[in-house]
Amino acid sequence: MAASSGGKKLLPEPSKGTSAASAHSSILRKSSSEKPVTEATGSGSKSSRNEDLHSVLVTSVLNLERLDLDLYSNEHSNRCTFTGTHHWVPRSRMLFGGQIVGQALVAAAMSVSENIYAHSLHCYFVRAGDPKVPVLYQVDRIRDGKSFSVRSVKAIQHGNPILICQSSFQRKMESPIHHQFTMPVVPSPNELLTQEELIQKYLRDPALTEKYKVGLTKLLAEEVPIEIKPINPPEYYRRVALESKQHFWVRARGYIGEGNMKLHCCVAAYISDYSFLRTALLPHFQYKVKFMASLDHSMWFHAPFRSDEWMLYECESPWAGSCRGLVQGRLWKQDGVLAVSCAQEGVFYVKPSAAESKL
């Protein structure tokens, strides 16, 4: 399974009714010495990615350590030490919501059998995560039915829950009832600049003020394990209200490969929270945000996908008010298949605008 602790190879607990053998093919690794299951079962289209550059999301961030039956920690596998930090923490200095959701789904996935797959999850972020200490993940096996299994996971720090996450898994089932919306028409990834290339371009702007130069340089230095290609990105000095919609191509940084869909769902959970909530702020450029945080996060997994291949993230915010904003998102594969739907509500506390503060 995942990173070993003190040399002991930690394997996921066989879920009830799962043979010991199949329980060993965890969603990440069979053992720290064997190839990750994502390569062991590699079939179909090999990514054109550099296969030596494994995604840190798989080798580290989502590679939990099993402490006991249905109890996991990210202490050793997430480069997290009692004095150190998690792999990447937003400037808000709260643990990134996508990390906690992705790790909670890993813990839940370890407790179900191999032949069922995550189809939905619903979470509440109940306390800010502390980037200076590890996170414990406690799995409660709510029910195992013939076709569906439901798990509840509590992410715990300092003895208190920071996240509660319910997830449901379904065995593969066919049905004649199938439809989906049509994917938006946008430029393809190879026609666009990455977020880093855009920042480099802005930093070459002779009119760039020191304030923006510092902010953009800090952004460039962040080790976000996600690659992004914004579509029609607003200028960094934007001072106009935009529609509460944004599209960007997104993928995990590094190679993951074919393999267990559970793993790609956990990576997509991480990816889905990045730059998502900000969609609700696009029309409100005149306000300075004093505090913002995700309150909840829901996902529905519709079709197989590769989280290390470009997917279009179509984000929109239909509503904001009462210090809250709702954002909805759809992750599209390049072939037009709708792979994942997401929804999230967040809390915003803002400073009154210059005009209002004169009233």
Ligand X SMILES: CC(C)(COP(=O)(O)OP(=O)(O)OC[C@H]1O[C@@H](n2cnc3c(N)ncnc32)[C@H](O)[C@@H]1OP(=O)(O)O)[C@@H](O)C(=O)NCCC(=O)NCCSC(=O)CCCC(=O)O
Q: Does 224 bind ligand X (CB under 6 A)?
A: no
Q: Does 294 bind ligand X (CB under 6 A)?
A: yes
User: Closer CB to ligand X, residue 71 or residue 293?
Assistant: 293
Active site annotation includes 195: no
Q: Does 293 bind ligand X (CB under 6 A)?
A: yes
Q: Does 93 bind ligand X (CB under 6 A)?
A: no
User: Closer CB to ligand X, residue 72 or residue 125?
Assistant: 125
Of 4, 99, 246, 273, the catalytic one is 273
Instruction: Return the residue matching tokens 């199949």.
Output: 22
Smallest separation (angstroms) from ligand X to the CB of 346 = 7
CA distance readout (Å), 146 to 39, 116, 149, 152, 215: 30, 10, 8, 18, 52
Per CB under 6 A, the list member of 3, 77, 89, 97 interacting with ligand X is: 97
- Using alpha carbons only, give the angle 239, 243, 244 rounded to the nearest 5 degrees: 105
Q: Does 164 bind ligand X (CB under 6 A)?
A: no
Range 184-191, long-range pairs (CB < 8 A, 24+ positions): 184/247, 184/312, 184/314, 184/332, 186/231, 186/247, 186/312, 187/231, 188/334, 189/229, 189/249, 189/310, 189/334
Per CB under 6 A, the list member of 216, 226, 266, 277 interacting with ligand X is: 277
User: Closer CB to ligand X, residue 189 or residue 325?
Assistant: 325
Tokens of 52: 């030596």
How would you classify residue 267: left for phi > 0, otherwise alpha for psi between -120 and 50, otherwise beta?
alpha
Q: Which residues in the 300-359 window bind ligand X by CB under 6 A? A: 347, 349
User: Closer CB to ligand X, residue 204 or residue 290?
Assistant: 290
Active site annotation includes 33: no
Q: Does 25 bind ligand X (CB under 6 A)?
A: no
DSSP code per residue over 75-113: TTTTT--SSS--S---TT-SPPHHHHHHHHHHHHHTTS-
Of 111, 307, 317, 344, the catalytic one is 344
Tokens of 325: 């904003």
Strands 245-252 and 288-294: unpaired
Smallest separation (angstroms) from ligand X to the CB of 245 = 16
Q: Does 215 bind ligand X (CB under 6 A)?
A: no
| CB 226 within 8 Å of CB 186 | no
Q: Which residue is nearest to ligand X (CB)?
A: 97
Smallest separation (angstroms) from ligand X to the CB of 314 = 17
Per-residue binding letters, 123-162, with ligand X (x by CB under 6 A): --xxxxx---------------------------------
Active site annotation includes 294: yes
Per CB under 6 A, the list member of 61, 136, 156, 292 interacting with ligand X is: 292
Of 103, 294, 307, 317, the catalytic one is 294
Q: Please provide residue 314's backbone torsions phi and psi, each rounded to the nearest 5 degrees.
A: -95, 110
Region from 53-61, 168-176, 216-224, 287-295 binding ligand X, contact rule CB under 6 A: 287-295
- Using alpha carbons only, give the angle 16, 18, 21 rounded to the nearest 5 degrees: 135
Q: Does 278 bind ligand X (CB under 6 A)?
A: yes
How far is Cα 311 from Cα 150, in angstroms, rounded to an integer? Answer: 27
How far is Cα 44 from Cα 224, in angstroms, rounded to an integer? Answer: 28
Rg (CA), the chain: 21
Q: Does 88 bind ligand X (CB under 6 A)?
A: no
Smallest separation (angstroms) from ligand X to the CB of 290 = 4
User: Closer CB to ligand X, residue 181 or residue 349?
Assistant: 349
How far is Cα 324 from Cα 194, in angstroms, rounded to an integer? Answer: 30
Per CB under 6 A, the list member of 179, 204, 290, 358 interacting with ligand X is: 290
- Positions annotated as catalytic residues are 273, 294, 344
- What residue ranges bind ligand X (CB under 6 A)? 90, 92, 94, 96-97, 125-129, 273, 275, 277-278, 290-295, 347, 349
